[in-house]
Amino acid sequence: MKIGTVQIHGKTILAPMAEYTNYPFRVLAKEFGVSLVYTEMTMAKDIAKKDRRELRLLYTKPNESPVIAQICGRDLECITTTAKIIEGMGFLIIDFNLCCPIARILKQKAGAGLLAEPNEVGRLVQGLVQATSLPITVKILSGMTLENPNCLEIGKICESSGAAAIALHPRPVSEPYIGPADWSLIQKLKQTVKIPVIGTGDIRQPTDVLKMLEATGCDAVMVARGALGRPWIFRDANHLINTGTAHPSAMTADKIKQVMMRHFKLLKDFAGDSAAMLLRRHLPYYARYMGQEDTFGKAIRNIRTNKEFEESVRTWL
């Protein structure tokens, strides 16, 4: 798959997830063979002002390339200014968020709220394309409501405005996290546009990646919550795609512990004393896959320091 001039090797992608897909977790996913990663969503108005906290979300190093910087907003001047800043930071691709359904973003008529304004989507995407030499992608939901999906219209508008690829999570703004994802919309979008289409939604197992590729014809599959506490899903999915068989190396509790501690080390290098607090939201997922929800899982719910985390590991694992 090519996104503009950027060649992507492989068909697995880590989705952008606020407060999860920081640099350490993206590196961990890369170590397990993911083809492409996104930063957490950043607000264009804050990046344009060079807000330190927002810029921190764009921390990157060459070892995770290719990586996409994701931005959100609806003010064209802020968006284009942000695109130029990101281009100077070493990113290869910029993604325009048309999929965030949380209330504070919808109140700003940004993120998924822009799906109600197709013409404005076209204007903003075109402005982004003209502002930078980097390829511009978009990530969208199916539409504002289940009954009236307009993702095919939005997809065509984005393509004609110069977008280099589209990622579709086929759920509506009204029900972004419930009900089954409608994979048929991914298939229809793939048949509607000529640029690459990335599918996502209901990817929980390596077999789901292969099923989506076969069912929709999409160019790559994006994994979101299915990768939390289980970054090896990319290794297993890649092996299944390439060989048609399951990966021969099963993830035992001890191996999962090693992955978790690798994650902790990456976080310590990135955030120092704040590592345990950043890891804490991932720990219930690791505990589940280790079969330790009732022991280690309970012990780490309220940890605040690196020392408390390390003591919990020694005590329970």
How close are the terminal C-alpha atoms of the chain, in Å?
A: 42
DSSP single-letter state for residue 149: B
Q: Is the pLDDT of residue 42 over 90?
A: yes
Residue 220: pLDDT band (50, 70, 90) is very high
Question: 90-133 pLDDT, tens per residue?
Answer: 899 999 999 999 999 999 999 999 999 999 999 999 999 999 99
Two tokens, residue 254: 């001890």
In contact, 127 and 79? CB cutoff 8 Å: yes
Question: 154-172 pLDDT, tens per residue?
Answer: 999 999 999 999 999 999 9
**Domain regions of the chain by residue span:** 2-243, 253-316
Question: 56-88 pLDDT, tens per residue?
Answer: 999 999 999 999 999 999 999 999 999 999 999
> Considering the entire predicted model, what is its pTM?
0.96
Question: Can you give the pLDDT at residue 90?
Answer: 85
Per the annotation, the verdict on 158 as an active-site residue is no
- Average pLDDT (235-241) is 98
Q: Return all residues near 247 (Cβ < 8 A) that are at least 6 apart.
A: 206, 235, 236, 239, 240
CATH fold of 2-243, please?
A: TIM Barrel (3.20.20)
Q: Is the pLDDT of residue 188 over 90?
A: yes
| Placement of tokens 């989506």 in the chain | 212
- Average pLDDT (210-216) is 98
Of all residues in the chain, the percent with pLDDT exceeding 90 is 97
Question: 270-304 pLDDT, tens per residue?
Answer: 999 999 999 999 999 999 999 999 999 999 999 99
More confident residue, 147 or 176: 147
Task: Name the phi and psi angles at 139, rounded to 5.
Answer: -120, 125
CA atoms within 13 A on the CB side of 46: 14
Q: Return all residues near 111 (Cβ < 8 A) that are at least 6 apart.
A: 41, 72, 97, 98, 99, 100, 101, 102, 105
Of all residues in the chain, the percent with pLDDT exceeding 70 is 100
Measured in whole angstroms, the distance separating CA 120 from the mean position of its chain's CA atoms is 24
Please classify residue 275 by burial: count the beta carbons closer than 10 Å to its beta carbon, then call 0-12 exposed, 13-18 middle and 19+ buried: buried
Classify 313 as helix, strand or coil: helix
Q: Is the pLDDT of residue 176 over 90?
A: no
- Of 78, 99, 100, 151, the active-site residue reads 100
Please classify residue 153 by burial: count the beta carbons closer than 10 Å to its beta carbon, then call 0-12 exposed, 13-18 middle and 19+ buried: middle
CA 263 → CA 2, 21, 136, 268, 303, distances in Å? 30, 12, 30, 9, 16
Q: Is the pLDDT of residue 315 over 90?
A: yes
Question: 241-267 pLDDT, tens per residue?
Answer: 999 999 999 999 999 999 999 999 999
Question: Can you give the pLDDT at residue 179?
Answer: 86
- Average pLDDT (224-239) is 98
- The per-residue pLDDT of the chain, averaged, comes to 96
Q: Which DSSP helix (H) or strand (E) runs through 251?
A: none
Q: Is the pLDDT of residue 178 over 90?
A: no
Alpha-helix residue ranges (DSSP H) falling in 75-145: 76-87, 103-107, 118-131
Question: Can you give the pLDDT at residue 177?
Answer: 83
Measured from the Cβ of residue 176, the count of other Cβ atoms closer than 10 Å reads: 16
Lowest mean pLDDT among 25-29, 98-102, 178-182, 185-189: 178-182
